[in-house]
Structures are given as structure tokens and as C-alpha cells.
Amino acid sequence: MPANADVHEDIPNELAQEMQRDFDSRCLDAAIEEARTGLAEGGIPVGAALVVDGEILATGRNRRVQLGSVIRHGEMDCLENAGRLPASAYARATMYTTLSPCPMCSGAILLYRIPRVILGENRTFMGAEEELKAHGVEVVNLDSGVCAGLMREFIGAHPEIWNEDIGR
């Protein structure tokens, strides 16, 4: 054990964790911004951000309604906006999403081996989080009241659009 390995060593570690939490919160804010843009367009308020090496590579939002698309969930739109990336980039990526990722989006996350998912909430919808975890993906729920509020309001006003989004 090196001479300086005393109890003070865990202070920088705590600081690093706090910085990570701040960073995660800021990236989730970028996803929330997308969700709000989507809502203003008449769409479902789910947003996402793809971060690689501490940088937001792309953001996206659910655009099923806006584009008449069957696959443009927030995470899928974000991945598409990021464009083609090598496997090495996905391997260093974190997907931020305002809502627990559904099986389709979780499938894309697993396919491209994105190792970390930070989600805004799973109170209004529980996606395929267990499948992600079962494949070794780190899943963190920030349990954001803002994200849950956006979804509750939308689902209350447009239950049929929401049910169609999740195949119900």
C-alpha cells in the first residue's frame, strides 16, 4: 500500500462522484429541453442525449407524431441524429433519456453496446430496464419530477397517442 493511501483518499473520490452527478444532471437537462421542444410541436415529451467522452454528441426527441414515424422514439431519434459511429464510440457512450427506455430503444442500446443509461423517470412507464441490467448495462434512475410531470400531463391529455407509442 502506498504511503499516502490514508482515509483522505476518498475525498477526491467523493468529489468525483459529485461532479459526475452534476454532469449527469446537466445532460439530462439537455434531454428535458428536447422533450419540451417535442411537446411544443404536438409530440410526445420524451427527449434524449448521447454523450461520449464528456461531450454531448447529439440530442433527439420522440417524433412519432411529428414525422408520422414508427421508430422515432427519443433515444432512436438521438442515435439517428448522432449518425453512423464506430463501435468504439458507442462503447464509451452514455444514453440520457427522460423516460425509462422501451424494448425497442433498449434493443438499440444493447445492439451498439452502450454501457450506461441515465433515465429521468420510470413512474409513468417502466421500460426494459431489467433486460439492460441483465446484459451488464449500468442503469441509473434520476427520478426527476420534471420528467414525470411532462409525461403525466401528456398521457392525461392524449392517452390514445401515448398508447399507440408503446404498442397498446
Catalytic (active-site) positions: 75
C-alpha angle 135/138/142, rounded to 5°? 135
Query: CB-wise, 58 or 102, nearer to Zn ion?
Result: 102
Query: CB-wise, 23 or 30, nearer to Zn ion?
Result: 30
Of residues 72-91, those binding Zn ion (CB under 5 A):
73
105 binds Zn ion per the rule CB under 5 A: yes
The DSSP symbol for 124 reads S
Least distance to Zn ion, CB of residue 77, Å:
10
Least distance to Zn ion, CB of residue 153, Å:
19
Only segment of 1-9, 11-19, 23-31, 65-73 that touches Zn ion (CB under 5 A): 65-73
Of 112, 19, 98, 96, give the one whose Cα is nearest residue 58.
Answer: 96
* 3-class state of residue 122 by DSSP: coil
Q: What does the alpha-carbon distance between residue 103 and residue 116 come to, in Å, rounded to a whole number?
A: 16
Q: What does the alpha-carbon distance between residue 34 and residue 60 come to, in Å, rounded to a whole number?
A: 6
Q: What does the alpha-carbon distance between residue 131 and residue 63 come to, in Å, rounded to a whole number?
A: 25
Query: CB-wise, 53 or 107, nearer to Zn ion?
Result: 107
Only segment of 7-15, 70-78, 86-94, 136-144 that touches Zn ion (CB under 5 A): 70-78
- The residues of the shown chain that bind Zn ion, judged by CB under 5 A, are 73, 102, 104-105
